[in-house]
Amino acid sequence: MNTGMGRRGAVWKTPSVTADGLKIFACVVMLIQNIGIAIVENGLIRLDQYTQESLSKAMETDSDLMFLAGVGSVMQLIGGMAVPIFAFLLVEGFMRTSDYKRYLLSIAVFALISEIPYDFAMNQKLVDLSTQNALVGMAVSLLMLYFLKMAKEKQGAVSIALQVLIVLCAVLWVSLLRAQYGFCIVLLTAVFYLFYTKHVLKTVLGIAVSLLYVTGPLSFYGIWCYNEERKDKLPKYVYYGFYPAHLLVLGLVTRLFLL
């Protein structure tokens, strides 16, 4: 735990945050966001019935609808704090894993498993190609890290050019796949990896990218307090499994009780 002298001689203490703590926080705020989308917006508001214009007019005469829309918006803003943390943990996992292929395979398999629950929760469809789940973007980002590592072994301008090209290719892939948070996940992953030892610079650049989600910069407090301890209280596959499991539950609740 870091300490420093504040005003009037008070000692300010910086909390010590483990990887497990970051994972739990990210999962909680992600759950809040997805409740906002699946339950509030899709179930209670039935947002698909409105255009932006008709929704605005309806809220002018319906205070309950206005309240629900506000709640849904706030819940989505809260969820924005999960994006930088997931990108940060992805890079930490890449830097410390002893088996990259197994790590990539795990992410890719759970991305496939999560697609139907994601479509069901977000759009009440079993198959919807208009958007893909967040793990797809993370799988692309993890693949990007492998090639960035190879590029960093080169020297000078060649290395820099290759790194830029690799990041642009990853951005193109997540854009084509329409992965949730894909653009932001790729850029944050690149920032956290390419400036891994330059803590101030990667924080400044990361905050700039995270502004895409308004509340994203708030999560950098937890990242800054990270103590590099990776003794998880729960097996990593519990976190992987939480993603499709909570989406499936939210989709079922919306379908059975709200539509």
Instruction: For residues 98 and 174, give the distance between their C-alpha atoms in angstroms, rounded to a whole number.
Output: 26
Q: Are 15 and 223 in contact, with CB atoms under 8 Å apart?
A: no
Secondary structure (H, E, C), 53-69: HHHHHHHHHCHHHHHHH
5 pLDDT above the threshold of 60:
no
DSSP letter string, 172-184: HHHHHHTBTTHHH
Task: Please state the rounded mean pLDDT for residues 10-23.
Answer: 78
Which uninterrupted H or E stretch holds 185? helix 182-194
**pLDDT (tens digit per residue) in 145-169:** 999 999 998 888 999 999 999 999 9
Task: Please state the rounded mean pLDDT for residues 87-114.
Answer: 96
Q: Using 50, 70 and 90 to split pLDDT, how confident is the model at 192? A: very high
Where does residue 87 rank: exposed (0-12), middle (13-18), buried (19+ CB within 10 A)? buried
Q: Using 50, 70 and 90 to split pLDDT, how confident is the model at 228? A: confident
Instruction: For residues 14 and 162, give the distance between their C-alpha atoms in angstroms, rounded to a whole number.
Output: 38
Instruction: For residues 187 and 205, give the distance between their C-alpha atoms in angstroms, rounded to a whole number.
Output: 10
Q: Are 146 and 117 in contact, with CB atoms under 8 Å apart?
A: no
Instruction: For residues 31 and 142, give the distance between their C-alpha atoms in angstroms, rounded to a whole number.
Output: 23
Q: Which two tokens stand for residue 6?
A: 């504040």
Q: Using 50, 70 and 90 to split pLDDT, how confident is the model at 13? A: low
Q: Which residues fall within 8 angstroms of residue 240, CB to CB, at 6 or more apart? A: 106, 107, 110
Nearest to 180 by CA among 119, 241, 239: 119
Percentage of the chain with pLDDT > 70?
95
Instruction: For residues 111 and 142, give the distance between their C-alpha atoms in angstroms, rounded to a whole number.
Output: 12
Instruction: For residues 141 and 137, give the distance between their C-alpha atoms in angstroms, rounded to a whole number.
Output: 6
CA 20 to chain centre: 16
**By three-state DSSP, how is residue 259 classified?**
coil
